[in-house]
Amino acid sequence: MKFETQAIHAGQDPDPLTGAVVPPIYQTSTYKQDGVGGTRGGYEYSRTANPTRAALEECLAALENGAKALAFASGMAAEDCLLRTLCRPGDNVLIPADAYGGTFRLFDKVLTRWGLSYGTVRQNDLEAVARAAAQRKPRLIWAESPTNPLLSVIDIRALAEIARDNGALLVTDNTFASPYLQRPLELGADLVVHSTTKYLGGHSDVVGGAVVVKDAAHAADLAFNQNATGGVAGPFDAWLTLRGVKTLAVRMDRHCANAMRVAQMLAAHPAVSEVFYPGLPGHPDHKVAAEQMRGFGGMVSFRVAGGEEKAVKVCGATRLFTLGESLGGVESLIEHPARMTHASTSGSPLEVPGDLVRLSVGLEDAGDLLEDLRQALG
């Protein structure tokens, strides 16, 4: 089945009891057993498994073409469970020099205390990645593509080869692209993580995360730790996410079209010194993006010619773009990464420029969006 069909049907057969076309919200913590150990369909307690969560997990596994998916309470819960399942204290992880600030904070402030060390490398410099991997022999290479907030695109196929050559696993955060635009497991990655809060959910009304694995053996280990540590997606959150997933393909097409219009306008605007959008032919990773992605996504970042204070002013001057963190919803958002989403990277190799503004381009009329940005920049 093609992507659009899977998004609507995978894991979502009509309910066998009632015929309900939409998977019900099984808002229950526990399940009646028919005698001790006599579970119905294996359900015993909703931290371990819940039918609404199972429907979402089956759908996400299909969309990423993975062996299995696990749904978590947030993207960060998914990342934490993945890392503490696959790594051991004393291991090293190679992380990007450009990534979501919360991911950096997890490595830098939480997992270092657990004994996990990390090294940073700019991952679109493949020779630098190969050198760092040969030196450090990491347990994992952690990649994000496109990156948050600088929209670098990483050659996932090449990175997978470097990981394999050095006995490491490749994890790719596919949040910015979504499985509709990019399928890292097909390009050689071993595991994919998502903040389903973003494009998969798509409506800014739920926080969630997921891990999708290529190898079912990893799924068993992850499921054990997910149950042991408990950061699971609740039934209503799983249901909302699944409802969002059904329209992912049509939403992403419009996000891409609107973002391209916005990026082209910004590139020609005198108050903008640099635009980061992989769809622009002048973007340094444009060729890789065109090869490994179906479209260039809905995220656009740019530097404001007047410096940091001017960038902060622009963020406060839009009327349609809402000033706020997060991304991937139907409504357009604007933010200042250095003081908001990426404040935790200050003073680190992942620090972002102070004059940077990040846009999550939504599904409004493109002309209205351009007009709003022009008046804010003007």
Ligand X SMILES: Cc1ncc(COP(=O)(O)O)c(C=O)c1O
Q: Write out the residues near ligand X by the rule CB under 6 A.
A: 74-76, 100, 102-103, 144, 148, 173, 175-176, 195, 197, 207, 209
232 vs 265, beta carbon nearer ligand X: 232
92 vs 241, beta carbon nearer ligand X: 241
Choice among 98, 108, 173, 372 that is catalytic: 173
Active site residue 100: yes
Residue found under tokens 């020099």: 97
43 vs 72, beta carbon nearer ligand X: 72
209 vs 279, beta carbon nearer ligand X: 209
Question: In whole angstroms, how close is the CB of 255 to ligand X at the nearest point?
Answer: 15
Question: In whole angstroms, how close is the CB of 37 to ligand X at the nearest point?
Answer: 36
The tokens describing 233, both together, are 């997606």
Active site residue 47: yes
Query: Contact 198/221 with Cβ under 8 angstroms?
Result: no
| Alpha-carbon distances, residue 354 vs 301, 303, 311, 333, 336 (angstroms) | 12, 8, 8, 18, 8
Residue nearest to ligand X (CB): 75
Choice among 26, 100, 118, 277 that is catalytic: 100
Query: Contact 359/320 with Cβ under 8 angstroms?
Result: no
Question: If phi over 0 gives left and psi between -120 and 50 gives alpha, with beta otherwise, what is residue 242?
Answer: alpha
Cβ burial of 255 (10 Å; 0-12, 13-18, 19+) is buried
| Alpha-carbon distances, residue 78 vs 25, 81, 85, 148 (angstroms) | 22, 5, 11, 17
Choice among 47, 243, 310, 339 that is catalytic: 47
Choice among 198, 294, 303, 358 that is catalytic: 198
Question: In whole angstroms, how close is the CB of 131 to ligand X at the nearest point?
Answer: 25
Question: In whole angstroms, how close is the CB of 349 to ligand X at the nearest point?
Answer: 17
Report which residue type is found at 325.
Answer: E
Facing residues of 301 across strands?
Answer: 276, 358
Q: Measure CA 93 to chain center.
A: 19
166 vs 196, beta carbon nearer ligand X: 196
The set of residues, in sequence order, having a beta carbon less than 8 Å from that of 142 and lying 6+ positions away, is 93, 94, 95, 96, 99, 103, 171, 173
166 vs 241, beta carbon nearer ligand X: 241
Question: In whole angstroms, how close is the CB of 158 to ligand X at the nearest point?
Answer: 20
| Alpha-carbon distances, residue 231 vs 43, 72, 140 (angstroms) | 18, 6, 22
Strands 299-304 and 272-276 come out as antiparallel
Question: In whole angstroms, how close is the CB of 97 to ligand X at the nearest point?
Answer: 15
- Residues designated catalytic: 47, 100, 173, 198
